[in-house]
Structure formats: structure tokens, C-alpha cells
Amino acid sequence: MLKLTFFAVSLAACLGLFPGQAIGNTDAQPGETRQWRFKVFLDDREIGFHSFRVSEAGGGSRVEIDADFNVRILFFNAYSYSHQNEEIWRNDCLYRLDSVTDDNGELLSVDGEAGSSGFIINTTTETQDTGLNCIRSFAYWNPAFLESSRLLNSQTGEMVDVLISRRADEVIDINGEAVAALRYTLEMKDGTISLWYSRDSHQWLALEAPAPGGRVLRYEPVELPFDLPGTDVLASR
């Protein structure tokens, strides 16, 4: 059975790649809302979408994440996945989390909140006091998370060890434009994710991950909350 859980996790920053960077964007203003929306493909077949909405207010950030995938084989639905998640961030740390996931009929829920002894995580089966005053989840949209070594999977409530490495720079196609990109890999026990960010503006552009059966899952942007600077765009194709 196709399993997509290792990449379909909610997302946020850990140790700053750029010191002092706030969640999402140093230029974010109070009241500003930014959105990333991706078509999701399994090989060349479109299977759904994944969106990330970040709102700035009250000195913090509210992150709303919505994903929906359906894999059809012939005339029946072989796999379905939906995930809704809301995160509240304060001082570059996760303050509150609420997520609900339907993983092909398996229902999961996770909630958590920062407390005096550390961040407490509640799942459908247990309550865990992490003892950590500042934890962060996966946040591909924030390049600060690229120096993380441990992240919270908001689908399962698990703290995940990760190894994030810088790879060779590449030129990738974004909506018909050749864009200079920085490539990183995120390795964990469930697999390896490749991530691309624009070279000069350090904005998240794309994601790719292996799927069962030798297939490839990839994200193609249909909405990005920024215009790429001219130094990132090399040519139109």
C-alpha cells in the first residue's frame, strides 16, 4: 500500500540558517498573509494539492496547512490522504499545534502547546512532555529550518531526527522559467526529501521525494507569495 506519511508533515523552522530570521520571512509585516500552493504529482500523474498559508499578527505567526491526495488506479481510488493543520508561533518557536489527518482511512489527531515544563504533545494514544522550551516542526517555506537536527512530525506527534545537507546548485524550471536554485536533501529514517530554494532570495520553490515502487513524488508551484528577483531568473523556456 502506498504510504506518503514521511513527507506529508506540517512544517516550521529550527536553528536559523540566517541568524535572527523570524518565521517565514524577515520582511513580513503585521497583518500580512502569504501563501504557497503546489500541485502534487506522483511521477507525471497529478494526485492533489498542498498549500501553506502564513499570517503575521500580534508579534507571531499563524500557519494553516491543507493537503489532499488521491491516487487512482483504473476506476477505483487506491489511496487517499488529507491533512489539515494549524500552528501558532511565538518568538520563532512553536507555541500551539492542532492537526487532523485521514491517512487512507486511518484517522490521526495531534495537538500540543508550550507549557512551563516544556512543549506537551497529545496524540490519539499518548501524552508526551518533551521537556523542551522551544521545538519546531517541518517548515519547507522557511529556509531557517535547513539547519535543524530534530523536528516535530505534526501528523504523528513524533520528534524526528533529521540530517539536512547542501548539495550542488542547480537550474530548475519554475512555470516556464529557468531559475537558479540551491538544492538541499533532508534525510530521515522514512526516506530522503530534496528541496530547492531560489539562489539569491532563498525562497522555497520545489520538493521531490521517492515513493514506493520506484516512483517519484514532486511539488509543482501554482502560487508563490513573491516575485523572483531578476538575478534568480536565468531565462524563459
Residue 92, domain extent: 33-236
Assigned domain for 220 exists: yes
Per-residue model confidence as pLDDT tens digits over 96-144? 999 999 999 999 999 999 988 899 999 999 999 999 888 888 978 777 7
Assigned domain for 12 exists: no
Q: Which one has a higher pLDDT value, 31 or 67? A: 67
Give the CATH number for residue 230. 2.50.20
| Chain position carrying cell 508551484 | 221
Per-residue model confidence as pLDDT tens digits over 14-61? 222 222 233 344 455 667 888 999 999 999 999 999 999 989 877 788
Q: Is the pLDDT of residue 7 over 50?
A: no
Q: Is the pLDDT of residue 1 over 70?
A: no
Band (pLDDT 50/70/90 cuts) for residue 232 is low
Assigned domain for 21 exists: no
Return the HEC string of 30-72. Answer: CCCEEEEEEEEEECCEEEEEEEEEEEEECCEEEEEEEEEEEEE
Domain count, the chain: 1
Assigned domain for 4 exists: no
Mean pLDDT of 184-204: 91
Per-residue model confidence as pLDDT tens digits over 86-98? 999 888 788 999 9
